[in-house]
Amino acid sequence: MSSNSITVLQLTIQSIQMNPMRWLLPGALLSLAMLRLRTKPLPPDTSTLSKLPPELILRIASYLPPASAAAFSLCTKRLYALLAIPYLKCKHGHTPFNKTEFLRLLESGLPDHIVCYYCEKLHAIKRLQRHLEYTTRCDVKSNEAMRTYIHPRFSYVIFQMVMKRHRQGLDYSSLIKLLSYNVWSWCGPDEIKTSARIVDGSLLLRQQHIILVHPNNDSFFAEEKS
């Protein structure tokens, strides 16, 4: 940006900073000034919001929680042009908000994604394989607890995917099978089977211990002699 452009932008911001507009965030002032100096027209938008003055949209956004205003900016290209600077690009333009909170707002409109609390990203349900391998899992930090109290291959990300499909009323049979686990115990001749199912909106895990005993070895069941 040339020095002349910067000067014009500063003058435009100063002209906006009148008493009725002092409620605007610094980032919103910059966004509004750049909008007024824009040489190319904004993308066409047939929504009702596009008919509102930019100042009114900024006023509406100022009453929203910062995370909600950031999500609001992604509704249309025109809203993004107006609200992206104060709520998405400018770190000091608004009260800080939790990234997971912002992603949770987006998730409601993304039926095939879930929010990951570990890496703070949106994960596509169709790309579930990476959450099964230990080397590519993002919930490795909690894996030790899951290994101890559930089973080594239990994935919290897969669990979220299962519950989302359940709430949507869609088939989750292939997903819930990934939460089951069978293993032969290394410390004895027994097998551990873990199966998962959903009951009344909650995930239940059933664990069975199958002990194999040789017919000639009755020491496992010998009664104590008095």
pTM confidence score: 0.67
What pLDDT score was predicted for residue 7? 45
Instruction: Say how far apart CA 2 and CA 90 lie, in whole Å.
Output: 21
Highest mean pLDDT pick, 163-167, 182-186, 218-222: 163-167
User: Which range, of 15-19, 33-37, 142-146, 184-188, averages the lowest pLDDT?
Assistant: 15-19
State yes or no: pLDDT of 56 exceeds 80.
yes
Residue 42 vs residue 149, higher pLDDT? 149
Q: Which two tokens stand for residue 57?
A: 């949209």
Residue 108 vs residue 9, higher pLDDT? 108
State yes or no: pLDDT of 45 exceeds 50.
yes
Residue 198: burial class (beta carbons within 10 Å; 0-12, 13-18, 19+): middle
Residue 224 is given by DSSP the state P
Report residue 164's pLDDT band, with 50, 70 and 90 as the boundaries: very high
Q: Which two tokens stand for residue 22?
A: 């002092």
Give the start-to-end residue ranges of the domains of the chain: 3-97, 100-211
Q: Indicate the helix (H) or strand (E) that contains 62.
A: helix 54-62
Single-letter amino acid code for the residue at 163: M
State yes or no: pLDDT of 13 exceeds 80.
no
Instruction: Say how far apart CA 65 and CA 35 lie, in whole Å.
Output: 23
Instruction: Say how far apart CA 42 and CA 165 lie, in whole Å.
Output: 38
How are beta strands 121-124 and 113-116 bridged, if at all?
antiparallel
State yes or no: pLDDT of 14 exceeds 50.
no
Phi, psi of 65 (to 5 degrees): -60, 145
What pLDDT score was predicted for residue 225? 54
State yes or no: pLDDT of 6 exceeds 80.
no
Angle CA 62–65–67, to nearest 5: 115
Single-letter amino acid code for the residue at 112: D
Q: Which two tokens stand for residue 210?
A: 């199958």
Could you tell me if 108 and 80 are in contact, meaning their C-beta atoms sit under 8 angstroms apart? no
pLDDT in tens, 67-93: 998 899 888 888 888 888 788 877 666
Question: pLDDT > 70: what percent of the chain?
Answer: 65
Question: pLDDT > 90: what percent of the chain?
Answer: 18
What pLDDT score was predicted for residue 199? 93
What pLDDT score was predicted for residue 138? 76
Single-letter amino acid code for the residue at 172: Y
Q: Which two tokens stand for residue 33?
A: 């000034």
Residue 226 vs residue 96, higher pLDDT? 96
Mean residue pLDDT across the chain:
75
